[in-house]
Amino acid sequence: MSEPRLGVVVVTMGNRPTEVEALLTSVAKQDTPPERIVIVGNGTPLPDFAGLPGDVTTLELEENLGCPGGRNVGIAKLREFGDVDIVVELDDDGLLIDAQVFRQVRHLFALDDRLGIVGFRVADEQGETQPRHVPRLGGRDPMRRGLVTGFLGGGHAFSMRMLNEIGDWPAEFFFAHEESDLAWRALDAGWKIRYEPALLLQHPKTSPARHAVYYRFTARNRVWLTRRRLPLPLVLIHLSLWTVITLLRARSLAGLRAWVGGFVEGLRTPCGERRPMRWRTVWRMIRLGRPPII
């Protein structure tokens, strides 16, 4: 059995130099080194990275393209090289604790040619995984592996063959819900998504609301996501349920105003090509425990 070749993409805005250095050190300690490493400076210059395994390429973008846009640049560079079968993408403030992560990733993809995405477990320095980082309803049991309907953007691996078939990240999202768009496209094309808690990415405990654009982009992109990917009856159900949940959970009037503005923006602005998932994909997601209305 031939092991697939692996490349790594890290996108940084240049505001975490210490964390990036630690992450790349953990990449260098992997017992199965990657063939390629691409480091993308998202609107920022990059230092010289020495001592890393494999072939290291740095790309400095003139403007910040957002997380999905920056990752697309890194994926495109790997595609140019043409010698990578799997791309591992890691948050720039993450850390690989186990030296066998890349070896395990290669093995998982070698076992199943319809495996499209492998999601890592994200835990803080105390080993705690936040419920929102568990890709199942309720966020329970972060150590339960298996097939799921989504993955974490902070640490994951993609089949390049899958990306070539379904397309890359939705760059226009910039931030929030880009993982769901890609995951739903993968499921609709018949690819599998596996959550593997043994693949640990240590990551500081954070709240997505720390970003100034969180409420606006979360609302806008959720509306875009449903308009792009769901059958029409489910668009109405999904957005109605989500609106009720948001109103019940609202703790900040300013945040709620930003959310309403983003929701209206999502309805009024172009969302990209509408390609709703098939009903059999909806049923598949229900069987996997997460229907696309929640």
Specify burial of residue 27 (Cβ count, 10 A radius: 0-12, 13-18, 19+): buried
How does pLDDT run across 208-244, given as a tens digit for each residue? 655 558 899 999 999 999 999 999 999 999 999 999 9
Domain that holds residue 112: 6-206
State whether 142 and 195 are in the same domain: yes
Q: Where are the alpha helices (DSSP H) in 250-290?
A: 253-268, 279-287
- Quote the pTM value: 0.95
Q: Which of 149, 177, 206 is the last residue of a domain?
A: 206
Does the residue 46 lie in any domain?
yes
Q: Which of 177, 206, 235 is the last residue of a domain?
A: 206
Does the residue 181 lie in any domain?
yes
User: 3-state DSSP: the chain helix, strand, coil percent, rounded to 5?
Assistant: 45, 20, 40
State the CATH number of the domain containing residue 40. 3.90.550.10
pLDDT in tens, the chain (294 residues): 578 999 999 999 999 999 999 999 999 999 999 999 999 999 999 988 877 777 899 999 999 999 999 999 999 999 999 999 999 999 999 999 999 999 999 999 999 999 999 999 999 999 999 988 999 988 889 999 999 999 999 999 999 999 999 999 999 999 999 999 999 999 999 999 999 999 999 999 876 655 558 899 999 999 999 999 999 999 999 999 999 999 998 888 988 999 999 999 999 999 999 999 999 999 999 999 999 998
- Nearest in space to 132 (alpha carbons), one of 158, 156, 150: 150
Instruction: Note the pLDDT of residue 54.
Output: 76
